[in-house]
Structure 1
Amino acid sequence: MVFYFKARPEAGDYTIFMGLDKYENEELIKYGFPEDIWFHVDKMSSAHVYLRLHKGQTIDDISEGVLEDCAQLVKANSIQVNNVDIVYTPWQNLKKTASMDVGQVGFHNSKMVRTVRVEKRINEIVNRLNRTKVERTPDLKAEREAVNAAERAEKKQHIREKVSTLILI
């Protein structure tokens, strides 16, 4: 089961999501998208929260408001009460080895990991996010394979167009 949330409307159409438990988190780690940004409490147990950016966007494009939404959602689903550091990084920077426990991750490049401090839970933000909460049981593998197939088809079409242009010249 994956929980989906909508970020603050004024920020644009962004989806925030998290797994039900560490086993679902394992699937999210395995089948993430290049546009996903992963959030977690630093060095403590918490939910794995993801923000799906739009194609072409990077971690630098996250607005302060959306960053606050993600950080508050992580904070609300952690065991720590106050003053936590939330780390976030692109999904592609997550490193998973066979020796790691279920749901545990490391990083390929620690320089790509950013931190934001959350002093306390802001109920107004958490309640707003929870009002948008939708539970689904997606086939994450199939979703990822569909995106991969679409990207391959787009690349093939681009190559065909280039070849056609070269033939005409």
Structure 2
Amino acid sequence: MVYYFKARPAAGDYVIYMGLDKHENEDLIKYGLPEDIWFHVDKLSSAHVYLRLNKGQTIDSITSELLEDCAQLVKANSIQGNKLNNIDVVYTPWLNLKKTPAMDVGQVGFQNPRLVRTTRVEKRINEVVNRLNKTKVERTPDLKVSRIAGCI
């Protein structure tokens, strides 16, 4: 199952999504698209959250408002990170993710650590998390077919 969220309207028409659990994350890691940006709480367990950019956009296209939506969603979906203030959220293009057979389920590394960015989340902003949760839709897509079609 994949959870889909809509970013704040002022940020544009963007879809943010995450898997139900670490097993679902494996499929998301495997079947992402070049337009995807991956988010995770740094050094803590958390959901893998993805932002689908529009074709032609890059990580530099992410506005501060859109970044806040993604970072707050990751923080809210981290058991440890949700309880802490001043956490770091890392994000990188999906193409920069590296998965080896020796890694645990849901674990990833990076092809190039220099392509990983970090944003500090001082505290949970309930208004942001609540707004995102109101847009939440659950689906069970065939991620392999979606990958071939270029959508999710």
Please name the residue that 1:62 is paired with: 62
Paired residue type of 2:29 = I
Q: Deviations over 1:63-82 (max 9, x none)?
A: 00000000000000112222
Please name the residue that 2:88 is paired with: 85
Please name the residue that 1:31 is paired with: 31
Number of aligned pairs?
148
Greater helix share, structure number: 1
Pick one of 130, 137, 152 that aligns with 1:127. 130
Output aligned runs, 1:1-169, within 5 Å: 1-78=1-78, 79-80=80-81, 81=83, 82-147=85-150
**1:120 match: secondary structure:** coil
Q: CA RMSD in A?
A: 0.9
Scaled by the length of structure 1, the TM-score of the pair is 0.86
Runs of 5+ consecutive residues of structure 2 not aligned to the other structure: none
Runs of 5+ consecutive residues of structure 1 not aligned to the other structure: 149-169
Identity level (%): 77
CA distance in 2, matches of 1:100, 1:17: 23
Paired residue type of 1:144 = R
Q: Which runs of 4+ in 1 moved over 3 A?
A: none
CA distance in 1, matches of 2:119, 2:150: 31
Deviation at 1:147, TM superposition (A): 2.6
Deviation at 1:124, TM superposition (A): 0.1
CA distance in 1, matches of 2:148, 2:55: 17
Structure possessing the higher radius of gyration over alpha carbons = 1
Please name the residue that 1:164 is paired with: none
